[in-house]
Amino acid sequence: MILKVSELKEHISQPLHAAYDGRALDLEFVDFHYLKNIVFSGTAERIEQTLTINGSLSSEMEQCCSRCLECVATHIETPVDLTFAIDHRDTIDVTDDVRDLLILNHPEQFLCSETCRGFCQTCGKNLNHESCECS
């Protein structure tokens, strides 16, 4: 998302909406698999040489459970609270910061559910679907 400073009136919080393709943001590595566009919805406000962006990023992501390896679609929502120094520039590119936020808020370990039982270490059965005789 590239913002034009001249289009932002000072001291007026303006609505801001943008949609990103996960691939365009270079987030399709490891297990970052977005099923939908990443949508930003919020506001932008300019006060002198400072630009503040508030809102949230939401999307749907396919994540694979680190215990049972099952992949499920989950809704993600990341709060956005960014401040930029305008520095007399005409345009401000916030794409890198958006990408950083998405990476920072990505859980390192995803579990399909808190109670996921994963695989049996001995027989390899998925204990969410079946039980086994191992101790």
Least separation in angstroms between CB 125 and Zn ion: 5
CB nearer Zn ion, residue 6 or residue 115: 115
Least separation in angstroms between CB 33 and Zn ion: 16
CB nearer Zn ion, residue 39 or residue 116: 116
Q: Which residues bind Zn ion (CB under 5 A)?
A: 65, 67-68, 112, 116, 120, 122-123, 132, 134
Tokens 């919080």 belong to 13
Give me the residues paired with residue 61 across strands. Answer: 34, 74
Whether 101 contacts 83, CB under 8 Å:
no
**What number of CA atoms fall less than 13 Å from residue 102's CA on the CB side?**
29
Least separation in angstroms between CB 26 and Zn ion: 27
CB nearer Zn ion, residue 6 or residue 135: 135
CB nearer Zn ion, residue 14 or residue 122: 122
Least separation in angstroms between CB 51 and Zn ion: 41
- The H-or-E segment that residue 104 falls in is helix 95-104
Question: For residues 69 and 43, what is the distance between their CA atoms, to the nearest angstrom?
Answer: 38
